[in-house]
Structure 1
Amino acid sequence: MGTGKLLLKVPSTLRFVMDGEMPSYLLAKDFILHILGEITVSGGTYKSMEFVGSTVESLNMEERMTLCNMVVEAGGKNGVVPADSTTYKYLEDKTSVAFEPVYSDENARFLSEYRLDVSKLEPVVAKPHSPDNRALVRECKDVKIDRVYIGSCTGGKTQDFLAAAKVFLASGKKVKVPTFLVPATQKVWMDIYTLPVPESGGKTCSQIFEEAGCNTPASPTCGACVGGPRDIYARMNEPQVCVSTTNRNFPGRMGHKDGQIYLASPYTAAASAFTGFVTDPREFLQ
């Protein structure tokens, strides 16, 4: 305050180059959980994490948001996807204010560069009690679960619910465990009730969820993702096992300190709801 200046440390950058054809059973949540397993929850401390490559360019904005949302789980300062036509299209009805995109210099130096061939990746989860405790979903097939939670800023976007609905539609079965649906915003809640799911014959997500026996989609909230008081919707008040699309699985994160949280993509969460076990979505999507 005495100088009128604020000291800011410019973070170094970790660059993640992701190429290869994206398998139909993977989502951005699988990518970021894979990366966390590689660099750990401290591997990005006070660093910028930049995601580039043909796979990233093919992702819609909400999937890009999933990548950038979870860099904080690695200690990251921020997550960056270079602006492109997808970005500009997304912003058309969001703002009329002029803006100028900023990109890494052509001769920029990166602290580290990681390359991923996503065509060789498999669905993954983060086992209790850390987002970097990575395991292949198929390695956890014997883990019996008590509930599924699809929601939060990371896993409660419109595209996340459309992905879950795709699995529910492919199965045509009833869920075997309580399945909680918590949209991130009011717009997402509206989309659940109004947007037709592709190849569903015009059905909305809400109709598909109801047919599958899921709980009625809740009002937008952080919900059980932050634990909170015992009366928070879908809070874990008992030491249960949950597959969740949220971003953190530390002890007590969703309520009970002895709860077991497996972080997963909406595909994996929906597949697990049908079996009552941690389940590879390829069982329903191939």
Structure 2
Amino acid sequence: METVPLLVGSGEPSALLSTLRTVHSLSNFFQIGLSIYSCNHYAFCGYLKFSHILKFQVPPTLRFVLDGEMPSYLLAKDLILQIIGEISMSGATYKSMEFIGSTVESLTILHHTGIEHGELIILLLPIGKMEERMTLCNMVVEAGGKNGVIPADNTTYKYLEGKTSVAFEPMYSDEQARFLSEYRFDVSKLEPLVAKPHSPDNCALARECKYVKIDRVYIGSCTGGKTEDFLAAAKIFLASGKKVKVPTFLVPATQKVWMDVYSLPVPRSGGKTCSQIFEEAGCDTPASPTCGACLGGPRDTYARMNEPLASLDRYLVCVSTTNRNFPGRMGHKEGQIYLASPYTAAASALTGFVTDPREFLQ
């Protein structure tokens, strides 16, 4: 038995994500989260500090090797839906899920400022995107996973610069480590996905659902309400130049994300912020940071699906960037929830049907 420092965390998922942005995970500490989305923290492959002693069963590990160039129309949400669709919601029950491979290494972003045709622009290049890694780790719980782990690398270290003054030491799987199973994916061949009602493993290609009429879109939650998620949605709206055809709700995960939505210029937009682009597209004004309708809540919860029917012959349908689509998850138990990436959610808002984002990204 080994004694190590311990952190017990509680609170809503968006609060946990906020903790990541301010405290961050350090090695040589063991973390316990009372929220199901504490798995977000393992995008940093580390632990936080407290003091106590508990006994735990060490979970076996499933390894997921994601290789290949990431297509421009995919986001990490598509990758984790692909994985959950393959192994099922119980495929990783009480197991650790480790993500490696060239695709995971490139799930990164660098903000590069430059001048183009006399216009100040910020290019988003694939060199430092921790938030996409958080999306992968966030949804391991939808596969029954105990945690999701991504080995620390230069992207991790760069992200942590200026965010902690505490010395830390990364931890990695041993070279002789044994894995319960290994799954390999050629990401270059994947397509945008949705998870149909009423389970995150009920996956289908977005293009196969193009005749599914929708009534609303929800972009938010700890899974799909990060800064990069809103930048992705804004990219779709900007490319289309059209207005949404259904109510589109925007719920940032944290106060920092909310501030980014109102302050960060969107690349190649002429300096417009996400909030300006959302307003031009006819979306609802971005709400205050909250879990919102992701957890259902009482009837007065913002964007909650209170009614079962969109018409006499059709249930209410929502495309959402959240993490679960169980009956009643976002309100009424008859509500139909399609889980999707911010790209797919924004594209669907523009057409009024479940829509492959390639229609706006080609």
TM-score normalised over the length of structure 2: 0.77
Task: Give the structure 2 partner of residue 103 of structure 1.
Answer: 172
The alpha-carbon deviation at position 151 of structure 1 amounts to 0.1
Task: Give the structure 2 partner of residue 262 of structure 1.
Answer: 338
Q: Are residue 178 (structure 1) and residue 247 (structure 2) matched?
A: yes
The alpha-carbon deviation at position 93 of structure 1 amounts to 2.1
C-alpha separation between the residues in 2 aligned to 1:181 and 1:220?
10
C-alpha separation between the residues in 2 aligned to 1:163 and 1:6?
41
The alpha-carbon deviation at position 96 of structure 1 amounts to 0.8
C-alpha separation between the residues in 1 aligned to 2:104 and 2:154?
13
Give the letter aligned to residue 273 of structure 1: A
What is the SS of the residue equivalent to 1:135? strand
Q: Alignment partner for residue 245 of structure 1, among 281, 300, 321? A: 321
Task: Give the structure 1 partner of residue 195 of structure 2.
Answer: 126
Task: Give the structure 1 partner of residue 282 of structure 2.
Answer: 213
Task: Give the structure 1 partner of residue 114 of structure 2.
Answer: none
What is the SS of the residue equivalent to 1:76? coil
C-alpha separation between the residues in 1 aligned to 2:257 and 2:163?
15
The alpha-carbon deviation at position 107 of structure 1 amounts to 1.4
C-alpha separation between the residues in 2 aligned to 1:5 and 1:93?
31
Task: Give the structure 1 partner of residue 105 of structure 2.
Answer: 57
The alpha-carbon deviation at position 201 of structure 1 amounts to 1.0
Q: Percent identity?
A: 87
Task: Give the structure 2 partner of residue 69 of structure 1.
Answer: 138
Q: Are residue 32 (structure 1) and residue 108 (structure 2) matched?
A: no
Q: Alignment partner for residue 235 of structure 1, among 298, 301, 304? A: 304
Give the letter aligned to residue 266 of structure 1: P
What is the SS of the residue equivalent to 2:54? coil
C-alpha separation between the residues in 2 aligned to 1:201 and 1:73?
39
Task: Give the structure 1 partner of residue 229 of structure 2.
Answer: 160
C-alpha separation between the residues in 2 aligned to 1:21 and 1:101?
26
C-alpha separation between the residues in 2 aligned to 1:242 and 1:5?
44
Could you report, residue by residue, the CA deviation over 1:48-99 in whole angstroms, capped at 9, with x for unpaired residues?
0000000000011000000000000011000001000110111112211111
Provide runs of 4+ in structure 1 moved above 3 Å: none
- Higher normalized strand content (fraction of residues): 2
What is the SS of the residue equivalent to 2:354? coil
The alpha-carbon deviation at position 5 of structure 1 amounts to 6.2
Runs of 5+ unmatched residues, structure 1: none
TM-score normalised over the length of structure 1: 0.98
The alpha-carbon deviation at position 7 of structure 1 amounts to 2.7
Runs of 5+ unmatched residues, structure 2: 1-51, 108-128, 309-315
Task: Give the structure 2 partner of residue 47 of structure 1.
Answer: 95
Give the letter aligned to residue 253 of structure 1: R
Q: Are residue 193 (structure 1) and residue 262 (structure 2) matched?
A: yes
C-alpha separation between the residues in 2 aligned to 1:197 and 1:159?
10
C-alpha separation between the residues in 2 aligned to 1:215 and 1:75?
34
Count, aligned residues = 283
Q: Which has the higher contact order (CA 8 A, sep 6+)?
A: 1
Task: Give the structure 1 partner of residue 359 of structure 2.
Answer: 283
What is the SS of the residue equivalent to 1:64? helix
